A = this chain, B = another copy of it.
Amino acid sequence: MAAVNDQQDIKREKILEASHQRFLHYGYSKTTMNEIAGDLSMSKALLYYYFPDKSQLYIAVMRKLATDYLKTLENRLNTFTNLKEAFTFQVNTHHEFIVNNYNFFDFFRLNEQNLPETIWQIVSEVHSAELNLLSNAIKSEVEKGAIKPVENPDEVVDVLMDALHGIRVGAISQKKTNFPRKEHLEEIHHKKLLLLDIFIKGLMY
């Protein structure tokens, strides 16, 4: 029983890996089930044995990415010695995550509207975890007396995250391109850290 399920799980995992590569390099719409099956030397029908349809497969890959990301955050939860460390960690990790999976997310950009509910669930899960990490960092700093009391930490973190997101959007929309190029990435990162710096000072005594 367990062995059988192990086997299944291993195959599922293999499918997810192959799908991830395809989605990452070619995006959702330019990836066909035949290609994924081909990569794994299996029949397309078998994919449908393991996953109900293409969008569910995509969501499963996303779920996996999100889980890994959440694990990274959880590992460091409440391990920071000061606010700056926490915030910087969040910025760096998030940045890396987005950059590494940029093409993967074109499903979003193209569909924009009417995405499956599950996707929004995952997005909001990730968002909550990020918010939680930063919010906790603030609370613990307040307790330590390192910064002045914050009325509503969650709201403050929410604003910060929107602001950080804006840095990326702003830097991109100025240029003719929708893709952040290598040189922009440096600029974006630098701006984010500058914002962080001022923001943190704004929370101190």
Chain A residues close to B by CB (< 8 Å): 112-114, 155-156, 158-171, 176-178, 191, 194-195, 197-203
Contact = CB atoms under 8 A, between A and B. Distances in A.
Nearest to A148: B201
Which of A161, A169, A202 has most B Cβ within 10 Å?
A202
Contact of A159 (B165, B167, B176, B177): B167
A194 B156 contact: yes
Nearest to A205: B201
How many copies of the polypeptide does the oligomer hold? 2
B176 A170 contact: no
Given A163-B195, A169-B169, 5 more contacts: A161-B170, A164-B166, A165-B166, A197-B202, A201-B203
A160 B196 CA distance: 11
Contacts of A198: 156, 159, 199, 202-203
A169 B69 CA distance: 23
Contacts of A201: 201-203
B178 A170 contact: no
Top 8 A-B pairs, shortest CB-CB distance: A166-B166, A202-B202, A162-B170, A163-B163, A198-B202, A201-B202, A165-B166, A162-B167
A200 B199 CA distance: 9
Given A178-B112, A203-B198, A191 B167 contact: no
A203 to B, nearest CB: 7
Contacts of A158: 191
A97 B147 CA distance: 36
A85 B33 CA distance: 57
A163 B129 CA distance: 21
12 contacts: A113-B177, A155-B194, A158-B191, A159-B194, A160-B195, A161-B170, A162-B169, A163-B163, A164-B166, A197-B202, A201-B203, A202-B203
